[in-house]
Structure 1
């Protein structure tokens, strides 16, 4: 769940953290992908060497979410069940795309979670091209989407503050000087030990700042016919050695 950080609602760190405590990731995993996955704490999958196991984790805690929102100035001043601040209700729209039932169901669970702490989240589902146009125009409050990461953990194009222009991938408008420096440093060395420290720090910062409410990483369940040989499953998928796959001559079927 990515927040448009240009929106005043999401500029307060405490508010973003409260939203993350309000969201029940386990219910999303169980209800959307049948439990075949695990909660996500940041931009790196748990199978990546860049993953930081010590990064902050947001267990579902609606009471804590309510306290943090209250501390941030959001109170139900008129007892209508909806938080407000200075007369403005806490209301925003979650944007996602048609044709992806997992994202739509996740949005519905998040909507219920947020309602329980006094936040009115509307869901808007758009055709794919229209969805992309809204992102390009930065015309959204929040969005649900997913990232597919490669074997290298370089995320410069997603998180560097210079990548916020139309058509670029830092569409939420995230900016952090330390993250910028680390992203550049991660590109300038081949030493895995050094890079690991760099990306662990990036993971820790993003987990703390919650520019996204990171939701879940699905487990892959590929099925391949037993005639195929040479398949070597790896943490980031099975297709990395696709050129080595083969079917023995005596198993070829026409």
Structure 2
């Protein structure tokens, strides 16, 4: 009997060991993504940061999935929650046929009711979502709240018709918003959604769901096996690890403690080139640095909102002279290690259908700069080394946000370049909050900053003359020809017509030089080579994470 018991005990121990070994072999695959700061919320209603947007797009699906088409340099629309859609012949409405197998992470089915409710919440002035005011082609009341009766017709739980304002030019972008669960949100007081527990413990509909959120440490997503996107090759867990210090992120990437990190500094790529388990990739043509020049007299504008030319930068010829005077290639090569290219216009070469190839970058040429300034009436009358015109010396302060080594380096190069042609430039750093406030209140004549180009292209918010309607037109650029083109681009046009308009717009901006375009800056991404099937292109570095695979 003792032998039997001993045998059974031995078998039990062996079984336990095998069981433990099996647990180790089926331990979940994990991919660790390094991010610089914790999130404020996991709720598409209020998500503003880039990292919040990435996680929201993974957890909350849209009717449509947009994908980058590298051949055209534009977006293609693919089905997601919608199986397909049909436009009315006059584009006054669209009918979506929805999937009937899309589930919320609590097991409830997603239906047309959820779609309508999401638009209702997003446009409700009480809620104040990040999408509030984004529904220009849908029927709304005086408070910008969508008129649900006029806009939506629920034809079945999985069939929905959306009507657009008569005379508008709608597109799929008008309905591309993340869908939230009606059965959860309708239980909440809309005034208190921003402080609700749902911001930290969401019910989602994507391929992943929230497993846990350890504040200031990590956000862990786990594959949702109920999702129609789920497949057995998916990575079991995606971990967004919060690593505030840049150098620590780079070190952890080298050690294999994190698998993915973007916004790597060019100088640091050299430390990774010889590592076998590392891949370096870049996203080009989405962000550029520029020197902003107020085209108008900011003091007079502040007093009475009247527009007068800026004494220094109001002339297109002067702005062109400054572009000739600055050695942009020196900054691009010495600081950015050529991870970028010179900017010609605010449309980069990645937008292949719309990029104007006939326009060439302005080359560094101080002699041409001096000639243009002289033609505009600027000369060093008193031989003090600074040119002047009508008793005004060409001297100004360039404001830059503090804590940006690239712009500090560039400011030194630019100051030396301008000094060589008789222009005195000083540099002043501002805390980021103060810098941004001064941009919007037009308190700076000159500044250095970056602009991130939206996909799909939308340049009206930056370059349209109406300064009240386009607060992001920091340079106060005004040009009737550009305005006309931007207005036409909002109307329904063929691809060929749209291309022609963008070519003309680039030529007009190129001739006007409203700002000093500097260089496109590559977004450098480094990831562990065990991560496979990543989609990295101008639409983003973190897309369709549910398609990622791990191959050791």
On whether the aligned pair clears a TM of 0.5, the verdict is yes
The aligned counterpart of 1:110 is 414
Q: Residue 545 of structure 2 corresponds to which residue in structure 1?
A: 243
* Partner of residue 209, structure 1: 512
Q: Which residue of 2 aligns with 1:69?
A: 373
Shift of 1:167: 8.2
CA deviations 1:52-96 (Å, max 9, x no partner) are 121253110000100111111110111111101122210111111
Q: Secondary structure at the match of 2:534?
A: coil
TM-score normalised by structure 1 residue count: 0.91
Residue 224 of structure 1 corresponds to which residue in structure 2?
527
Superposition map of 1:83-162 within 5 A: 83-162=387-466
Match of 1:174 in 2: 477
Aligned partners of 2:292 and 2:474 also within 8 Å: no
Q: State the Cα deviation string for residues 115-151 of structure 1 (Å, max 9, x = none).
A: 1100001111100011112112211111111111122
Which residue is 2:503 aligned to? Answer: 200
Q: What is the SS of the residue equivalent to 2:398? A: strand
Query: Paired residue for 1:19, among 278, 300, 322?
Result: 322
Does residue 311 of structure 2 align to residue 8 of structure 1?
yes
The CA deviation string for residues 212-243 of structure 1, in whole angstroms up to 9 with x for no partner, is 1100012333112222222133345433x333
Change (3 A) 1:167 1:184: closer
Which protein has the bigger helix share? 1
| 1:229–1:247 contact (8 Å) kept in structure 2 | yes
> Could you tell me how far apart the structure 2 residues matched to 1:22 and 1:236 are?
34
> Per-residue CA shift, 1:178-199, capped at 9, x if unaligned?
1111112112235322211111
Deviation >6 Å, runs of 4+: none
Contact 2:440–2:472 (Cα < 8 Å) also in 1: no
CA distance in 1, matches of 2:533, 2:401: 37
Question: For the structure 1 residues 223 and 125, does the alpha-carbon distance in structure 2 shift closer, same or farther, using more than 3 Å as the test?
Answer: same
Q: Distance in 2 between matches of 1:206 and 1:102?
A: 26
Gaps of 5+ in 1: none
Cross-structure match for 1:28: 331
Could you tell me whether the CA contact under 8 Å between 2:535 and 2:544 is conserved in 1?
no
Unaligned runs of 5+ residues in structure 2 are 1-290, 297-309
User: 2:261 is matched with which residue?
Assistant: none
- 1:156-208 deviation line (CA, Å, top 9, x unaligned): 1111112x239820021111111111112112235322211111111111111
Aligned twin of 2:114: none
Distance in 1 between residues matched to 2:544 and 2:420, nearest whole Å:
47
Which structure would you say has the larger Rg? 2
TM-aligned CA distance change 1:133 to 1:107, over 3 Å:
same
Aligned residues: 248
Alignment check: 8 A CA contact 1:228 1:246 kept: yes
CA root-mean-square deviation: 1.8
What secondary structure, in the 3-state scheme, does the structure 2 residue paired with 1:170 have?
A: coil
Structure 2 counterpart of 1:39 = 342
